[in-house]
Structure 1
Amino acid sequence: MATEKKIVLVTGGSGLVGNGIRLAMKERPHLQRDDEEWIFLSSKDADLMDKQATLGLFEKLKPTYVIHLAALVGGLFRNLKYNLDFYRNNTIINDNVLHACKEFGVKKLVSCLSTCIFPDKTTYPIDETMVHNGPPHDSNFGYSFAKRMIDVLNRAYHKQHGCNFTAVIPTNVFGPYDNFNLEDGHVLPGLIHKVYKAKKEGSDFTVWGTGSPLRQFIYSLDLGELMIWTLRSYPEIDPIILSVGEEDEVSIKQAAEMVVEAMDFKGNVVYDTSKSDGQHKKTASNAKLRKYCPDFKFTDTRTAIKDTVDWFEKNIETVRF
């Protein structure tokens, strides 16, 4: 007799992380399982801010497991302007999804948080025990507090109803299907778009700031694989940081040089030091991850940037800007 398939539902499945999971499963055969059916949802499938629509979706699809990625997101400037919207909308989405998971007996839920949830004033490296140790940075406190509350909800659902709800905290994610917006996007996709534009126009490639800040970048396919591992094997309700090690931090200057090399850019590289560097570092510890997955091999950053650049150039007509 054929075993019944486990339905794995991924909310926000059409974005960077959702595609990271999908591509990891496609390109890394050891992740594939015959007894699982994966459904990647986009915002077109249901309005998760609508409680009845969310419950209706769960009623229809009857998921066994859920990876919750759906969120209202934006860069620095949008966050500064709309902190209230980021808090309210994300709180409503999260409340609806977690409530539906409980109502329909979902066996395990993994939500995706962000390193911006950590306190602004902190010591480094940051680890999973420090999430609630002080207020987040003022620029995106709405988004950060809404994400923090997922951790609070996970604990409450576990304590009151025995639900197996947990969360991951990735560092700077990049890869195919990213948002390559120049004004309001993240560091690496922004650099890729800038080099592409400079090459096309024969102009200088200008990096904002000195290039000295340090960041831990995680390739979306590596994050995808680790999220699948979290869903199948991670035993805790407490969140887990998914990141390369402290020793793998890369400066913005090094990242820019890798993009220049990957795109074979021969023009001038200029650092506009009149622009702010932002936070110098946000170093996160991956000691907990290494305790569980000591042998996991992260994709070399240079290789991952080259793969992302190749995808960007191949899909330039449909890339999100």
Structure 2
Amino acid sequence: MDESKTILVTGGTGLVGEAIKQLVTSQKRTNEKWVFVSSKDANLCDLDQTRELFKKHKPTHVIHLAAKVGGLFDNMSNNLDFLKDNLHINDNVLQASYENGVKKVVSCLSTCIFPDKTSYPIDETMVHNGPPHNSNFGYSHAKRMVDVMNKAYHEKYGCQFTSVIPCNVFGPHDNYNLKSGHVIPALIRKFFDVIQTGGTQFTVYGSGKPLRQFIYSKDLAKLFVWVLFEYNEIEPIILAVDESDEVTIKQVAEEILKAYNYKGELIFDTSKADGQYKKTASNSKLRKYLPDFEFTSFDSAVKDSVEWYQKNHATARN
């Protein structure tokens, strides 16, 4: 008989947490208790509150999603805050996990941690090869330190702490705040607002030329659960769609327009910053483990995401 597990998911009411909750609920998994917590349950920047949270739930496993996150312009304006808050959150979660004998922790990083000046595609061996892009260096350095701490905890205590590096994530339950949201939810929200007011033009900041890989949150949820129970390396693993699925921001905007059936004019404001031009990530390590994993097509995932927001915009994180 399998030993019972209690899986604590920090940041459990966010984009990825909600996708994981939907997945494990639909699967009716046995001998597993899943606990999804948010900032309302504890301030993870505070070590005492973090310890109390772990004492209350007694997790055997942790998926660590909680972070201070934001979009390009929010990061550019607040690098110090992103650095300090994320350093505190990650340090406290891993310390509490160690103190409570948690068997495994999977933390969530981001492809923005990779060096700005690098060769492509980037892979797991290149995380610390140079400084990240200056636009979000605070967040990026804080996330890099999770990888360093994972290795240090394993070296000193034998802890099974690892991390995943997803490409850009989107889907239902995203953050649609125009200041702090990432590109797809921000555009979904902006398009919605324009359509509601009968606008005939829509403006996207930047040139539309930067390239990105996007992973649907429901696909990422499946991969997170696989990593938690099947992936046994301390070294991080990139969770990304194939390189051939990379799209431009212009293509993203056009796909969202299509999902809304919007016939207005699309304009790009080139006076606004583009951010990093590309950060193409290799998923070859993932493909060695899961060669047949099928990702949801981008157009279908965008359509689902737009439809979810149309139905839930009044209660979504706006």
What is the one-letter code of the residue matched to 2:174? D
Residue of structure 1 aligned with 2:134, choices 130, 133, 138: 138
Equivalents in 2 of 1:182, 1:84: separation in Å?
Answer: 21
Task: Decide which moves more: 118-127 or 14-23.
Answer: 14-23
Does residue 1:34 correspond to 2:30, yes or no? yes
Q: CA separation in 1, counterparts of 2:153 and 2:312?
A: 42
5 Å-filtered alignment, 1:215-230, equals 215-230=212-227
TM-score, with structure 2 as normaliser: 0.96
- Matches of 2:101 and 2:242 in 1, distance apart? 36
Per-residue deviation, residues 187-228 of structure 1 (Å, max 9, x unmatched): 111211122122112221112233222110000111111011
Counterpart amino acid of 2:241?
Answer: V
Cross-structure match for 1:92: 88
**Residues 142-179 of structure 1 deviation map (CA, whole Å, 9 limit, x = unaligned):** 11111111001100110110100000000110001111
| Residues 16 and 220, structure 1, Cα contact 8 Å, conserved in 2 | yes
Alignment of 1:297-308 (within 5 A): 297-308=294-305
Where 2:136 maps in the other structure, the secondary structure is helix
| Counterpart in the other structure of 2:13 | 14
Q: How far, CA to CA, are the matches of 1:235 and 1:95 in structure 2?
A: 21
> What's 1:206 paired with?
203
TM-aligned CA distance change 1:98 to 1:259, over 3 Å:
same
Q: CA deviation at 1:238?
A: 0.2
The match for 1:104 among 63, 77, 100 is 100
The Cα of 1:99 is off from its aligned counterpart by 0.9
AA aligned to 2:59 is P
Equivalent residue number for residue 257 of structure 1 = 254
For residue 82 of structure 1, report the CA deviation from its aligned partner: 2.4
Letter of the 1:95 counterpart: D
Report the TM-score when normalising by structure 1: 0.95
Distance 2:173 2:96 in 1: 28
Q: What secondary structure does 1:67 align onto?
A: strand
1:188 aligns with 2:184: yes
Q: Which amino acid aligns with 2:304?
A: D
**1:224-271, CA deviations, whole angstroms, 9 ceiling, x for partnerless residues?**
110110001011000000000100001112111111111111222222
Give 1:4 shift: 5.6
Give the Cα separation in 1 of the matches to 2:273 and 2:87. Answer: 31
CA distance in 2, matches of 1:5, 1:311: 34
Cα displacement string for residues 68-102 of structure 1 (whole angstroms, at most 9, x for unaligned residues)? 11111222233223222221221111111101111
Q: Would the aligned equivalents of 1:12 and 1:40 in 2 still touch at CA under 8 Å?
A: yes
User: Per the alignment, in what secondary structure is the counterpart of residue 252 of structure 2?
Assistant: helix
Listed as ranges, the gaps of 5+ residues in structure 2 are none
CA distance, structure 1, for counterparts of residue 79 and residue 285 of structure 2:
31
Structure 1 equivalent of residue 284 of structure 2: 287
Other-structure match for 1:159? 155
- 1:25-104 matches, cutoff 5 A: 25-27=24-26, 29=27, 32-104=28-100
Q: 1:72 to 1:277 in 2, by over 3 A?
A: closer
